[in-house]
Amino acid sequence: MQEYDVVIIGAGHNGLVCAAYLLKAGYSVLLLEKRSVPGGAATTEEALPEEAPGFKFNLCAIDHEFIHLGPVVEELELHKYGLEYLFCDPVVFCPHPDGKYFLGHRSVEKTCAEIERYSPRDAKRYAEFAEHWQRVIGAMIPMFNAPPKSLIDIVGNYDIKKIQDLFSVLGSPNKTLDLIRTMLNSAEDVVNEWFDSEFIKAPLARLASELGAPPSMKTLGVGMIMMAMRHNPGMARPKGGTGALVKALLNLVTSLGGKVLTDQQVKQVMVDNGRAVGVQTINGEEYRATKGVISNIDAKRLFLHLMNSSDVDAADPDLRDRLDRRIVNNNETILKIDLAMSEPLRFEHHNHRDEYLIGSVLIADSVKQVEKAHSDPSQGIIPDDDPSMYVVQPTMLDPSMAPDGQHTLWIEYFAPYKIAGLEGTGQYGTGWTDELKNKVADRCIDKLAEYAPNVKNATIARRVESPAELGARLGAFNGNYYHIDMSLDQMIFVPTLARNR
């Protein structure tokens, strides 16, 4: 039996970051990863080795923004371990059915100039909108970078600039109430309050809904930061793909003496006298932890699936019930499509420029279309009559991810984890089958071809991963790659496990 100070369940990027800090503090650390490759949702893999050798695909995460709100990259000096970030500019392109388009640059001024071609009023409002949400982000950063519920740490993270941001959004009773009102509002409410034109409202609503809920959902007003962050700190991708972040973290962890074992799925957390003392894998191996066990997987799987109920009840008799009932999963996840292509997309009806493809491409025709794309999955319905999608051509920013002159395409399409009426059938009892996932993927490509007609002829090979397959690969409970729905109530008001108690 092997013994370490800390055993970490899962070697995703969060677990690796945690391990790096522990190792730098002098602890011995073991990470156990169920897949044959570490990285969790942050891997880059040659997923079509026979049909498209040399094409590297990000199999889940792709655009990095939140990581730049914190000190992790700088504190861990990840550039010394091979990490190089490439910043996108432009950051988003969204073609509209009437020939207009939203082109967002990293620069707010350039973005306003693009909007002004169609709506001077919305351009002026966008400048005010971006400034407001930048101040909100500045006020929120100290809360992101402090332990939960630790007022001393939160206060200590405010410098003069962030204090100014805080007072600019909370400086008077009216401002405070207005911010609370905005946060309690929906993304749809917010965009309707600020803007007139559908060509700008639809992509902003689509980005806000990346948090995993329809734009009409109250408390999703905070989703407006998803566009604001693309201006500052900016949207970036590791050179070589998202997996390059994992590779740098692995280089750091192993250089500090940390150990990562793959193909080691944890079966149970071992508890002795009320303390987690180690884990047992499905292969029967046991690994002891003298200081503690840390989970890189979601709380539901940890406490409801990997621990004896008697051990959990002994620690807190209400915990299992609260986890089961309070942590909500609205059945929304993604169907993932990857294409190997002979040439990049061309948006022939929108005065195509290659720069459109550097950031993310949003197929969001209207707020109503985005609403359906996110509300249908919660009812177990596949919203494929008029698909809305998040599309990226990574090789326009980073040609190293495909053979010379060729390209990859990354498509995220929101879909239900369990299909209404088909529960108990298909893959993992979700109703998904190979035939169905490819039928839905065909519909997505048909929709994309309305804007970029060359997508079909340029496709060399295709990989489609159903929500059920993605959930199984990531080990994501009910396919939820965020662990829990990212609504305001669950991001802020879930004190049950705060401070890692």
pLDDT in tens, 77-129: 999 999 999 999 999 999 999 999 999 999 999 999 999 999 999 999 999 99
The predicted model gives 415-428 an average pLDDT of 96
Query: Is 307 within the bounds of a domain?
Result: no
Residue 288 has pLDDT above 90, yes or no: yes
Q: 491 falls in which pLDDT band (50, 70, 90)?
A: low
Do 293 and 338 fall within a single domain? no
Q: Which residues of 26-50 are buried (b: 16+ CB within 10 A; e: fewer)?
A: ebbbbbbbbbeebbbbbbbbebbee
The predicted model gives 72-80 an average pLDDT of 97
Helix/strand/coil for 338: strand
Query: Is 71 within the bounds of a domain?
Result: no
Do 257 and 284 fall within a single domain? yes
Beta-bridge mates of residue 462: 339
Residues in Cβ contact with 82 at an 8 Å cutoff, skipping those fewer than 6 apart = 244, 247, 248, 251
CA distance 7 to 499: 18
Do 254 and 374 fall within a single domain? no
pLDDT computed for residue 276 by the predictor: 95
Do 256 and 363 fall within a single domain? no
CA distance 340 to 343: 9
pLDDT computed for residue 97 by the predictor: 96
Beta carbons of 278 and 270 less than 8 angstroms apart: yes
219, HSE (Cβ side, Cα atoms, 13 Å): 12
Query: Is 308 within the bounds of a domain?
Result: no
Query: Is 82 within the bounds of a domain?
Result: no
Which structural domain, as residue segments, surrounds residue 162? Answer: 107-234
Taking the model in full, what pTM does it have?
A: 0.93
Overall size of the chain counted in residues? 501
Supply the angle between the helices 108-116 and 120-144 in degrees, to the nearest 10. 150
Query: Is 129 within the bounds of a domain?
Result: yes
Beta-bridge mates of residue 341: 407, 459
Query: Is 391 within the bounds of a domain?
Result: yes
Do 354 and 247 fall within a single domain? no
Do 228 and 264 fall within a single domain? no
Residues in Cβ contact with 348 at an 8 Å cutoff, skipping those fewer than 6 apart = 452, 453, 454
- Give the domain CATH number at 32: 3.50.50.60
Do 226 and 210 fall within a single domain? yes
Do 361 and 435 fall within a single domain? yes
Do 213 and 155 fall within a single domain? yes
Range list of β-strands (E), 84-176: 85-87, 92-95, 101-104
Residues in Cβ contact with 464 at an 8 Å cutoff, skipping those fewer than 6 apart = 335, 336, 337, 338, 437, 438, 441
What tokens were used for 53? 């050798």
Residue 306 has pLDDT above 60, yes or no: yes
Do 262 and 355 fall within a single domain? no
Tens digits of residue pLDDT in 221-244: 888 999 999 999 999 999 999 999
Beta carbons of 417 and 426 less than 8 angstroms apart: no
Enumerate helices (H) and strands (E) in the chain, giving the number of each: 18, 17
Query: Is 250 within the bounds of a domain?
Result: yes
- Residue predicted with more confidence, 173 or 325: 325
Of the candidates 436, 363, 358, 365, the residue with the CA atom closest to the CA atom of residue 398 = 358
Query: Is 443 within the bounds of a domain?
Result: yes
Do 176 and 252 fall within a single domain? no
CA distance 331 to 420: 10
**Domain count along the chain:** 3
Phi, psi of 297 (to 5 degrees): -110, 170
Residue whose structure tokens are 């004190």? 495
Do 289 and 354 fall within a single domain? no
